[in-house]
Each structure stands twice: as C-alpha cells, then as structure tokens.
Amino acid sequence: MGEMIELTAEDSHKLSAYKATPNGEAKGGVVILQEIFGVNSHIKEVCDGYAKKGYIAIAPALFDRVSPNITLNYEQSDIQTGLGYMKQIAAEDALKDTDAAAKEIADAGDITVIGYCWGGSLAYLAACRLSAISKAVGYYGGMIPQNLGEEPKVPIILHFGDEDASIPMSAVDEVKAKRPDIPVYVYSAGHGFNCNHRASYDAESAKLALDRTLEFIA
C-alpha cells in the first residue's frame, strides 16, 4: 500500500517520506508527523490506516536532516537518542519538510497535518505558518504551550492524555485558557496513547481520538 519516495524541501534539502495511497479517488490528504522515533513501522501503519479510510497519507522523515533512515523503538535508550536528534533540528526546518510533504500530495484536495508528540507540537506550528494546509491535528504536543503566542490560520484540534507524565494538566489548562477557540480533548491516558507499539497505548482513547480526528477532517 505504501512506498518510500524522495522529497525536496524549499532549502534544497532532500528527504525521504513514506506515502500510502488509497484505492479509488482520494477524499483528501494527510501529512503524518512522526514522534521522536523516526518514520518507523508504527508511523507507516498510521499512514496505511488513513489510506484505508480514503486519504493519501505521507510521513516526511524529519530526522533525515541529522542522518537518513533513522528509526527507533520505544526503550528508554531510544527515547534519549530520539530527543538528541530532535534537539538538532530547528522547528523551521522541520516545517520546511512538512510543507514539502503537503505540496507533494496537494492534488488530493484539502490537506491536514496530523502530528504525534514532537509532531503534535509541529502540527500546531504548521497551522500557524504553512499556507499549503487546510487543517491540523495535534496529539500530545508538549511544546504547544510555549507557542500559544502564534495564531493558527487554519482550524485545529488537540488531543492530550490526563496521565501524561511529560505534559502536566496545568499546561493543557493553559492551552484551553489562551486558545478557547481550539477544541481540546482530554483522555484518561498517558503520553503516546495512540501508539499500539508502546506500553502507554490505550485502545479506547486511541479509537475515540481517531473518530474525532476523522470527523474533523471529513
């Protein structure tokens, strides 16, 4: 269903991306933004899932700016490694890669950026800065509270878990207070609850968040 392709960002950086195409005509497109674990098997499965629901899905390999083909698992050592890679990549550069992915699938119609963890924070910034997208969805983006001074230009919804050790509920409340126009959904779950490869996976919360996301982008 999916394949690796090459994209070129506006600063001439070349990166790989995983692209999954639906059978039949596309309802639209989604850009899937990775966590700190690269475009690994889970991110590819997320793309395949959206393709099965009728969307062209593409996941740019944001870590390619550090080194190509980085994929990690979910052990503590992987988390530390992934955080190290993330810190080497400026948000502006990650957004260039996001923009390149959105433009690659522009023919699909409306494009939604859907990001998880690091990607969730980038999805918020994409909503503020990228003209190639129509909507955005952020899952447990820990850097969103620091970026609330920026104004989203497109509709956005946010998902958080109330047992997230890295994003306190005070931060979620701050998002709600400063951006009352943004729907913020809170689940009885921890960080990474959408990822069925992680111990923090919560099937009920993941399904509800996906249902809300699909309703939002339809």
- Order the strands of the 14-20 sheet from edge to edge: 2-8, 14-20, 55-60, 28-33, 111-116, 135-139, 156-161, 184-187
Radius of gyration in angstroms for the set of CA atoms belonging to the chain, rounded to a whole number: 16
DSSP character at residue 38: B
Number of compact structural domains in the chain? 1
Find the CATH number of the domain harbouring 87: 3.40.50.1820
158, 115, 96, 54: CA torsion to nearest 10: -110
How far is CA 140 from each of CA 31, 33, 63, 66, 182, rounded to the nearest angstrom? 17, 12, 19, 24, 14
> 37-52 pLDDT, tens per residue?
999 999 999 999 999 9
Element (H, E) at 65: none
Percent residues over pLDDT 90 in the chain: 100
> 83-126 pLDDT, tens per residue?
999 999 999 999 999 999 999 999 999 999 999 999 999 999 99
CA 72 to chain CA centroid, Å, is: 16
The per-residue pLDDT for 193 is 98
**Domain of 26, in residue numbers:** 2-217
b/e 50-59 (16+ beta carbons within 10 angstroms → b): bbeebbbbbb
- What pTM, to 2 d.p., does this model score? 0.98
Provide the phi-psi class of 109: left if phi over 0, else alpha when psi is between -120 and 50, else beta. Answer: left
Do residues 154 and 134 touch, judged by C-beta distance below 8 A?
A: yes
Place of tokens 């409306």: 110
